[in-house]
Amino acid sequence: MTTDVHRRRVDGRGGRAMSTSAARVSWTDRRAGRLAFGLVVPAALALILQVLAGRGLLPGTVPPPSVVAESLWHWVAGTPKSSVDLYAGTWWDQVWGSGRRVLLGYLVATVAAVPLGVLLGGNRVAFLALDPMIHALRTIPAPSWVPFSLVVFGLSPLSAVWLIALVAFFPIVVNTVIGVQQVPAIYRDAGRMLGASTFVIWTRVLFPAALPFVFVGLRLGVGMAWIAVVVSELIGVESGLGYSLYQAYQFGRMDIMIAAMCTLGVLGVVSDRLVGAIGRSVVGR
């Protein structure tokens, strides 16, 4: 009988181990399945465009996906065939140029927007004073700020970083405010009953409770940063994907234009997923 009990215990542990392993495999399959499923529509669209191009049903200025893919590969890993070959192996430099501007502008926006959002969400007087101005400014399109940035910062990379930070700032601050305002009042009351100061309540109570909303704003902000980088690189800089896109337009290189647009889209998705993964690890969801 002892042997039977021992076997049941071993089988029970083994069963739990097998269930855990199966759960892990299932989670991996689901993750890979989501990635594969997300590629179905772009692949189908590329196939349709390729077929239409082969039958001459696309405008002459629109290259088929095969030509775009070939140009992108030459842009990424090609070697210059002449001194005027601007798109041979320069893709990495352009990605780095845009990436560092997006990162710097995004960090500036985050450092400014999150504390201000906590303040506005936790202080009614500050909210009533600043909320109308914030909403008025965030409705101004990014291109409208270009002349202002040229006057203030001149033709310099700083104007591009400032424009990216400005555009990314608003979704972060608005969502942070909403998140703090959604925190139940009982949390604040409990903090006051325990003798916590206003600063401690804001930093140890309101901010952690509002983190899900904060990370929603951070995901929206990083997407807006990649949108703004195209506008910002039209002024004061001579590198980056936005600069390459406009340069390709001037040279009539539609293939490079589409390749740059696809690169921006992929980088935007990767950045969004990265911020989302950090948010899940911090918030625990």
Q: What is the pLDDT of residues 54-111, one digit of tens each?
A: 888 878 788 999 999 999 999 998 776 655 567 888 899 999 999 999 999 999 999 9
In eight-state DSSP terms, residue 234 is T
Residue 114 has pLDDT above 70, yes or no: yes
137 touches 173 (CB < 8 A):
no
Each residue's pLDDT tens digit, 163-181: 999 999 999 999 999 999 9
List all residues 6 or more positions away from 197 whose beta carbon is below 8 Å from its beta carbon: none
* pLDDT score at 167: 95
Residue 244 has pLDDT above 50, yes or no: yes
Whether CATH 1.10.3720.10 fits 91-283: yes
Q: What global pTM score does this model have?
A: 0.83
Q: What is the mean pLDDT of residues 112-131?
A: 93
**Which residue type sits at 205?**
V
**Which residue type sits at 19?**
S
* pLDDT score at 84: 59
Residue whose C-alpha is closest to residue 212's, from 178, 252, 263, 162: 178
Each residue's pLDDT tens digit, 45-70: 888 888 888 888 878 788 999 999 99
In eight-state DSSP terms, residue 62 is S
80 phi and psi angles, rounded to 5 deg: -60, 130
Q: What is the mean pLDDT of residues 209-220?
A: 94
Task: Compute the distance between CA of residue 252 and CA of residue 247 in angstroms, rounded to an integer.
Answer: 9
Give the DSSP H or E segment for 12.
helix 2-54
Residue whose C-alpha is closest to residue 69's, from 253, 258, 246: 258
80 to 96, 189, 266: CA distances (angstroms): 19, 67, 25
